[in-house]
Amino acid sequence: MTDLINPPLTDNGSHGTSVVEILQQHGHEEHGPTGILKWLTSTDHKVIGMSYMITSLVLFYMAGIMALVMRLQLASPQSSLVSFQQYNELFTMHGSLMLYLFAGPFAFGGLANYIVPLQVGAPDMAFPRLNALSYWLYLSGSITMMMGFLVAGGAASFGWVAYAPLSNATNSPGAGGDIWIMALVLTGFSAIFTGVNLVATIFYLRAPGLTMFRMPIFTWNMLVTGILILIAFPVLTAALVMLFCDRHFGTHIYSVQGGGSPILWQNLFWFFGHPEVYILALPYFGIVTEIFPVFSRKPVFGYKGMVFATLSIAALSTGVWAHHMFTTGVVLLPFFSLLSLLIAVPTGIKFFNWSGTMWRGEIQFSAAMLFSIGFLFAFLMGGVTGVMLASPPIDFFTHDTYFVVAHFHQVLFGTAVFAGFAGLYYWYPKFFGRMLRENLGKWHFWLMFIGFWVTFMPQYIVGLLGMPRRVAVYPTNLGWQSYNIISTVGAFVIAASFAVLLWNLWVSWRHPVVAGDNPWDAHTLEWFTTSPPPHHNYSHLPPIRSERPTWDYNHPEAPAVGHGEGRPPHGREKVMVTQ
């Protein structure tokens, strides 16, 4: 146990050497090549993390453009802007890019890569070369995925879930499907390697004094996400290999004709797919849990409860996959319904933690904080409709309709986009030592916030009226068009907000405003070093006696009060709340 908390820092296993000495030995070494060669050869977690973020943002914009084309198509019921085949390719690739290539890699490959070693006071990830391999696998997988559009027959068109037997060689011939499978195997291995790397980093490279219950929630959530990745992604990779065998080597694993079972694909896919939802969500929960305390000037409310809530979400998420399969008629409804409903409890705890953190704080509405508050409203709406969908009789008439489309967009847009860009605005000064423009950030937020509700609320209504998802045309006489037009307008408002972001990045780059090391008076270790951090991150570390060492260092007069770890850095007694 002692070894886990204070692991040996040197190769010879001695506990005597402090992290400071190690860093002093390595901190001033040759920094290696610069320019393009640096980006190609670096094993520095910060360079790799930045590569991940830039790549995933490019893919995010591409997937967003696909969404705009689909929204234009649906603005008119019998539109022929794109063909049926093109429409099927568009939503397949939009979903695949957003879920596999943006939402996960941006947070887990990008932000976690950059921030976690800093938050635990480590000079780099545990396996820097494996880390580089992860990125190059991810980049080649992403390029592979996009190449689907270039082959005869077009990109994959069987949806991002690729249900068998639609995804077999008879029903989806052509190289598009194979390219899709290969891309996912490549990026899947990238995720698995990053998962291994982060779990090892968090368990073994924490600075002296940084016990598990002094880790920032962001790091906690990345640890849990890493474990979930190790549970879920190998299942997806195995299922994809079997699908490839069905397509090319004459196996019949997912086909009735040869004695196989199509439903097996759904079980395997969702056994990956539901933990995947939390693999996408937990990192973003971690981001906002960094931001609320900093801009409320308070510690995270109920820190330990939040850690246990995250752990129970992760545990429950491995037992709810069949709630995507309620209408198959072949799953045990009460079991999966109960576990799905139960996830509302730890998720609710998080909401109370976030509100409690703001409670009696001094809230400053920076762009990062606005995006985090926007996340709360978006995720609350998506969460409430999620509880409805966990009830099979309700799922029966909303499954595969626009109600579900609205639900999961509110959840995923709420997390990956609202919380993701909260993280970008929050950590950008750390990455580059310069500020993003706050006023442009607020324009970005308000446009996106309004566009978000205008886009997705009408989809609930039209879904309840019976509009199925993944349709390129719909009957003209059912009154669905007005809702679709509103939704399309909203989508373009969201697009405008992302033009503002590009403008903000450009302005901030051309006319830099120096940020300083800790512009937000933030709490966690990464704000203790310079902005941007030096090659091996730290020349010295503050004493770590709570989950917010930088705050304790800067505010010795204001220790956390209440039960638990939040004890004063120099105090000799616990201060209890007596009110």
Partner 1 sequence: MRARRLVPLAILAPIVLAGCQLPSFGAYKGATSQGQDAYKLWQGFFIAGIVVGGFVFLLIVWAVFRYRRRHDAVPRQTQYRPVIEILYTVIPIFIVAGLFVFTVITENEVDAVPKSQVTIDVTAFQWGWQFYYPATGKVVIGQTLEQPQMVLPVNRAVTIHLESADVVHGFYVPEFNFSRYAQPGVVNTFNFNVLHTGVYRGQCTQLCGLYHSLMLFSVRAVTPAQFDVWVHQTSGNRPTIGQLKQQIRANGPGA
How many whole angstroms from its chain centre is CA 24? 34
Shortest Cβ 449–partner 1 spacing (Å): 13
Q: Which of 21, 26, 365, 571 binds partner 1 (CB under 8 A)?
A: 365
Count, residues in the chain: 579
Site string for partner 1, 256-275 (x = CB under 8 A): x----xxx------------
- Report the site for partner 1 in 75-94 (rule: CB under 8 A): 84-85, 87-88
298 makes contact with partner 1 (CB under 8 A): yes
Strand, coil or helix: what is 74? helix
Q: Is 571 in the site for partner 1 (CB under 8 A)?
A: no
CA–CA gap between residue 403 and residue 414 (Å, rounded): 16
- Write out the binding residues for partner 1, residues 414-473 only, by CB under 8 A: 460-461, 464-466, 468-473
Q: Residue 147 corresponds to which tokens in the numbers above?
A: 């190449």
Beta bridge partners of 468: 401
Contact with partner 1 (CB under 8 A) among 69, 315, 363, 496 = 363
Q: How many residues bind partner 1 (CB under 8 A)?
A: 96
CA distance 399 to 384: 16
What CA–CA distance (Å, rounded) separates 166 from 159?
10
Site for partner 1 in 335-354 (CB under 8 A): 337-338, 341-342, 344-345, 348-349, 351-352, 354
Spell out the residues 6+ positions from residue 203 whose beta carbon is closer than 8 angstroms to its own.
4, 7, 223
Per DSSP, the three-state class of 401 is strand
Q: 375 and 422 in contact (C-beta within 8 Å)? A: yes
Which of 143, 151, 384, 514: binder of partner 1 (CB under 8 A)? 384
333 is a site residue for partner 1 (CB under 8 A): yes
Instruction: Between 291 and 381, name the residue whose CB sits nearer to partner 1.
Output: 381
- Residue 382 as a binder of partner 1 (CB under 8 A): the answer is no
CB of 474 to partner 1, least distance (A): 7
Residues 48/135, Cβ–Cβ less than 8 Å: yes
CA angle 414/418/421 to nearest 5° reads 150
3-state secondary structure of 82: coil
According to CB under 8 A, which one of 17, 25, 41, 364 is a site residue for partner 1?
Answer: 364
From 200, 311, 380, 505, residue interacting with partner 1 (rule: CB under 8 A): 380
The nearest distance, CB 250 to partner 1, in angstroms, is 18
Query: Contact with partner 1 (CB under 8 A): which of 5, 20, 72, 166?
Result: 166
355 scored as a contact of partner 1 (CB under 8 A)? yes
Token pair listed for 314: 């992760």
Q: What is the DSSP letter of 110?
A: I
Q: How far is CA 332 from the centre of its chain?
A: 30
553 binds partner 1 (CB under 8 A): no
By the rule CB under 8 A, 208 interacts with partner 1: no
Q: Of 153, 208, 433, 562, which one interacts with partner 1 (CB under 8 A)?
A: 562
Residue 542 lies near partner 1 (rule: CB under 8 A): no
Site for partner 1 in 88-127 (CB under 8 A): 88
Contact yes or no for 71/557 (Cβ under 8 A): no
Measured between alpha carbons, how far is 324 from 157 in angstroms, rounded to an integer? 20
